[in-house]
Structure 1
Amino acid sequence: MNIGVLALQGAYVAHSNKLKELGFDSCLLKTKQDLEKCDVIFLPGGESTTMLYLLKELDLIDMLKTKLKTIPVFATCAGLILLKELNILDIEITRNGYGPQLMSGIYPLDVNLRGSSFLTEAFFIRAPIITGLRDGSIEVRSSYKNSPVLIEKDNILAMSFHPELSDCNQIYKYFFEKNM
């Protein structure tokens, strides 16, 4: 399994480190050649506008969109925004919806991943709020303040928060068990 972490900007190192901690090798996605090799894609948090700009500059948009529709995708924060902006997930969001950097924080979160329920700490860093799900096949796996923060659709697991910063690895384990 070739796991690629989009490495144009943002928290890609934290995801790579978490994957290594869990026993998975990953490569950093920066080119079409990197993208061609991927069987799994991680879209990290960061600055989604910058990521979109760089994806366009590197002519990666079309190839990435094709991949995102067919292989397992794990997206956090800005990665969730990318999925919306690339029309992969039909959702409505408010960027930085939980407030500016000063209001970022760590909050307890109840998660339910197909029968496996657990409490985790969720790191919200200028996180987007999912304000609407326009696709009835999207499943809400966790909510915070009455808004979905962890959603799943087919090959995609996407969240507003940063699980790569938590000691809890259950979201990662679920993703890999589902997709291996």
Structure 2
Amino acid sequence: MRIGVLALQGAVTEHIASIEKTGAQGLPIKRVEELDGVDGLIIPGGESTTIGKLMRKYGFIEAIRAFADQGKPIFGTCAGMIVLAKRIAGDEAGHLELMDITVARNAFGRQRESFECDLEIKGIADPVRAVFIRAPLIEEVGPDIEVLTLYKDEIVTARQGHLLACSFHPELTDDYRLHQYFADMVEDSMTANL
């Protein structure tokens, strides 16, 4: 099983390290054609506007939409969640517009308001350590969205079929169980597509 990490910006090596702890192979994705060689894709944190611009410049918007249309799982973390969202609060245009959520950018404040906490995530037995850095949150969800985590009554992890999104940075801790959850999604999709 090969899981790609979009390598335009963000903590790419940390995501790859977490993927490899699950037993899957992690690969940086720098060119559109490299998507053909992976079974799942992680869109990491960074700055969503910059990631969106780089995705447009290098042809990733249509390529990742086509990847999603094949039923291949995609996991967006922090800014990656914003990139996946159909809607961004404040009427800003979405990027991939794949996941039926409305997200608010920097909902938890600026860099100095960054924090860590333990979160209960549906489908994972014990609390997961989460690092929030200028984190977005999910303000609204469509009917097909499964909410996996609330933090202070705000949605911070959600799933829609083969799409997964979280507000925080799971790659910045030693806890790789959310990556394992995603790897299981990828494995399930590979089995379903046999």
TM-score calculated relative to the size of structure 1: 0.92
1:42-63: per-residue Cα shift (whole Å, max 9, x none)? 1111111111111111122111
Q: CA deviation at 1:179?
A: 2.9
Confirm or deny that 1:176 pairs with 2:186.
no
1:161 counterpart (136, 144, 168): 168
Provide the alpha-carbon RMSD of the alignment: 1.4
Task: Give the distance between the partners of 1:126 and 1:170, measured in 2 at CA.
Answer: 22
Which residue in 2 is equivalent to 1:131? 139
Letter in 2 for 1:34: E
Letter in 1 for 2:81: L
The aligned residue for residue 47 of structure 1 is: 47
- How many residues matched? 177
- 2: distance between equivalents of 1:170 and 1:92? 26
Whichever residue aligns with residue 71 of structure 1, its letter is K
Give the match for residue 64 of structure 1: 64
- Give CA deviations for 1:93-135 in whole Å, capped at 9, x if unaligned: 110100100000101211111xx432122100100011111x1
Local SS of the residue matching 2:126: strand
Cα deviation code 1:8-51 (max 9, x no counterpart): 01111110121223332222111121122221101111111111
Letter in 1 for 2:145: I
1:173 maps to amino acid: Q
SS at match of 2:45: coil
> 2: CA distance between counterparts of 1:143 and 1:174?
17
Percent of paired sites with the same residue: 37
| Runs of 4+ displaced beyond 4 Å | none
Q: Report 1:8-157 matches (<5 A).
A: 8-69=8-69, 70-84=71-85, 85=94, 86-113=96-123, 116-133=124-141, 135-157=142-164
**Gapped runs of 5+ residues in structure 2?**
86-93, 188-194
